[in-house]
Every structure is written in structure tokens, then in C-alpha cells.
Structure 1
Amino acid sequence: MRAIVIEEQGGPEVMRFTHTEAPEPGPGEVLIDVEARGINFIDIYQRSGAYAVSTPFTPGVEAAGSVAAVGSGVTEFAVGTRVAWAMAPGGYADQAVVPAQRVVPVPDGVTAEQAAAVLLQGMTAHYLTHSTHAVQPGETVLVHAAAGGTGLLLVQMAKARGATVIGTASTEKKQTLAREAGADHIIDYTSTDVASAVREVTGGTGVAVVYDGVGADTFETSLESLRVRGVLALFGQASGAVPPVDPQRLNSAGSVFLTRPSLAHYVSSRSELLERSADVFGLVETGRLKVRIGGRYGLAEAARAHEDLAARRTTGKLLLT
């Protein structure tokens, strides 16, 4: 089968397109024929060495397809079942073996491409807006990179919960996409002081929560945009890791709360994973959550896809198909 293999961490060029032996499922595992793979910043972190990963490995922690075989002890899935998974490696290949506990069913009204494009980022947007800071009607929230894959989903979910949404975006195209997703106010972070603009929009109060997946470049702006006792949900580091923070900075910002959440801790049980994924797929199936696929790449083009995502040249979700 075709696969991307990384033998040592580094730049995009370390992703080697090759042919390997087809895997077989062990006890508690399923073999999945992969149809579409989501591309995420965590793939870049694992490839580059920002996150420690044992090598060699096949990247890709989000994909969708159908069950080709099941290992012993697996009773929840049968051959042919349409499924998806997130937070387990091996997606950049024609077939992948995945622990059955990480696999979720895909409803008939959701395509494999939609499932691969929305599962990880959709559950991320879901836990951020429903659990990390459960958005309340009438609140104002700030979403950085509002035209990105997660950003577009965050905007939609926050709006659905009754929030006024401020989004940051650079180009005119990205600003239009964020508005179409429901953002009430758009700030061009390349030409405008974001914190000052947020204060102007909120009458000097600040926002209830900032959803920040950018990291180093936006951290101080995020703190300065919060209302008293607001929440900074720092869920990613697309621009690099945030340097160590003096807790006194949180006090001077208004007794604000800082959290560095991870999806793994919000789908830590099988029941929570099934519930959260079903909610996300249900929103897609009924048309209440729009999934924008910003680009499709062949499996052999994985390096170019990583380069495009890292350079923030894209909008929506990128797929390897």
C-alpha cells in the first residue's frame, strides 16, 4: 500500500512517499480503508519535532473511510461500516490500523471528506465553546484566525450559542469567509491593533473569552482583549510556543483565567468521544454546521500541503485524498 513514512523529524522534505506492507489489526483494533485524511497543525508539530514522536512513523491523526477488517474482541464495528477517527496516528496511508476505542461511526448524511475535514477540528470547536468556556447568549467572544479550519467552526458554534463574534483575519478573502460563517466584526490584524479594536467594539469592556490557536504572535493581544475575569483558551501554537508567563500578568489583565486545553482531555472516555463526535456530525448532517474544504492534495503531495498550511496560505480545512 502507499504511505508517507517519516524516519527522522524535520522539515516537510522528511515525509517520504513509499510503498509498505499492508497492516493487520490486532486485538481491539480495526483496519480501515482510508478515503480522506485531514491535515492538522499537530501533524506539523509531530513531523518537525515540536512534539516528541518515536520514529519511524506514518503521520496523520484524523481520517475517514470504511472498516476492512476487525481484530479479536471488537464487536462495535463490522466490515464495511463507515467510520472516522481522530487522535490516533497512521492516516497518511491507504490503510491504517486504529484502536477501536478511538473510532467513531459516520452517519449516512456525512461524506468521508466531510468527516475527515470536521472531526478533529469540529470536536475542538465543540469542547472550546461548550466546555472550556460554555458560551452564553449575549456574550462577546474573540476568535483568532477566524477563516482557518478551526476558526470557521468556532465562529459558527459561538454564533449558534448566541454570542457576538469578533474574528481576526488578514486578507480580504479570509475576512469575507469569516463574515459568511457568521462573524459580526472582523479585524485585520495586519493593519489594526486588535486589542484596541476589541475595546472599541465592546465599549471598553473586553470579551468574555478569546479562542487563540495562534500562540506566540497573539498571546499578549489576547490578554489585552479580555474583560475582567475573562478566559483565554490557548488551544494551539501555530506561530510558535508562548514563552513562560508570570502569573502576576493574569492579575494585571483583570484577574483573567488562562488555560491550555487539549482535545484528548475532552474526549478521554469512550462515552464522551461518542457524544461529542455525534453532536458534530449531527450539525453537519442537518446543515447547521458548514464545513469548508480549502484544498485537496494527493497523498504524494503531503509535503506541499504542510508548507501551505504552515505559511497560512490557506482557508478552511486541507485534505489528503
Structure 2
Amino acid sequence: MTTVEHGPAETVTLAGAPTNLLLPGHDVPIGRYTTVRRLLPQRARRMVGAWCFVDHFGPDDVSTSPGMRVAPHPHTGLQTVSWLVEGEILHRDSVGSVQPVAPGQLNLMTAGRGIAHSENSPPVRPPSMHGIQLWIALPEDARHTPPRFEHHPAVPVVSEAGATMTVVVGSLAGEASPARVHTPILGVEILLPAGASVRLPLERSFEYGMLAMTGAARVAGVPLERGSLLYLGTDRPELTVEADRPARLFLLGGEPFAEPLVMWWNFVARDHDEIVAAREDWMAGRRFGAVADDPDEPLPAPAMPTTRLKSRTRDGSFLPR
């Protein structure tokens, strides 16, 4: 997935105290036919652990529209996590992968030093599309590695107190996802029937956030409605989640990411010059390769801003040079 916004150029580097910060999403067009709710980054909160980007899309009726159409575009310095609730999306990339993803399956792409990919609804598809795509910032020792792609047809599921919890990334309650990640991190889908209440064990060193995909719930006593993200801070040994009506939530967690980041377009880097080099390579046809079996023209990169991109702290202030 790609962003059409000309930014942001922010970073998150410090751990936060236990807190409840409710962050409403905002609508962003992706490709020609899809609008997503962007939940990260926001001015008040740039990251949750190494999670640096969260888009929630749907439920959308794609029975009479082309559905998702995102032409080939580049990435550096991140991993993409694609998780569907409804529908099907076909992933193609420049390491030769051609892989559909369906509900309950995980597509994990590691950009490393550079990869290109596209995401499209197939011609024959379910009538509804609903899911999330997330980015994980890669730490220094992994961000220059060769690109790779993983497809996991199943990931672990934990049932407790009426809740169904799918461990998409990381580990929870003794179950570990097969996804290969490079920083301590957690991503769990939580299904709650009406009247359910579950207490989740947490790592005190992690910071957490919870987003609502459908329905509504009370998370740590705070009402959470569909399309919003609740930032929960660190130093929590457990978390109580309650639902008066059926709800589908997604828990994000991880150790606070300690490295400076600059994010611009589809690139995650450490400074302005790295962004410039990645953009130049993409426009010149270097580094990223060609997306397998994709007939669409690659997306051109937007123009660089007229001022140098700078890293920022979580509160939006600039980091010293």
C-alpha cells in the first residue's frame, strides 16, 4: 500500500508513561478506488513500538467496482503486514512473488534496502473487502538486508473467556506467530461476542495501542468506537477489554523504537539524504526491480518538499541535528 500524502517526516524515539490517548482516524485515498482510515502516524502519536503506519479499510462493497487498485510502488526500511477480514487481495512484488491473501492468512513483506510491489483486487473476488495494512520500521541491523516476502496460510489462535485472539505477529499466551520480525513486537486480532470480557497479559516494557475495526468496546475502561485508535502507553501488566455488542479489535504492541526515523511517501529512512537517494533510484529504475506480472505503469514519486526533512519526537518537536 502507498500513501498519497507528501509526508510525514516524523519519528518516535522515547517510551511513554501509562496513558489513554484516543486518536480518531482520518480518510486518505489509496489508488483510484479505495479510501482508508489512517490511524498512524498522527501528530499526537507517531508510532506504537515499531509500528509506524496503520491503515484500516472497509468494509467496502467491491461487487460492482474494481476494488483495490494500487499500481507498482517502492518501499525501503520497513515491513508491510497485510491482514484481511473480508475479501481477497493479490500481492505482486519485485522478488517474484505473486500471492493472494484471504481472511485468516498473513502476507508479510520485508523491504530491506528496497522492494517494489502492487496490490489489487482479483477479477473474481468476494463482494466485500475489509482489512488493515500496517508498517513495521526496521532497526539498523535489518534495514539494509535483501528484500523478501512471506505468506503464512495460518497463524495461531487463542480462545479465552469467549474471546478469539489471532496472533498475527509476535506472541501471546504461549502462542507465537511464524512471521519473521526484527524487533520485539505484537499484533493480535481480537474478536469479542456481545457481553464478553477478557483480561490480556501484557509486557510492561512494551507500549500498546488498540484499534476498533467493527463494533465498539471498552478498553481499560475507555470507550473505543470503530475507526479509532486508543494509545495505552507502557508499564501495563495486563489489559481488560469488554464488549457490550460484538466487536473486532486489533492490538498493537512493542518495545518503544529507539532509533530516529524519517518517513516520506513510501520510504522509511534515517535522514533526508537517504530519502532523496531512494526517490532518485525509483525514478531512474534502479534498486527496486520490476513487479512480477503486473501490467500497470509504476507510480511516480511525488516531488520532494522544498525544505529538508527532519526527524521529530512523539510530540511533534524537531530533534536536534
Which structure has the larger Rg? Answer: 1
Is TM-score (shorter-chain normalized) higher than 0.5?
A: no
More helix by share: 1
The TM tier, using the shorter chain, reads under 0.3
TM-score with structure 2 length normalisation? 0.27
Query: Which structure has more RCO (C-alpha within 8 Å, separation ≥ 6)?
Result: 2
Q: Which has the higher strand share?
A: 2
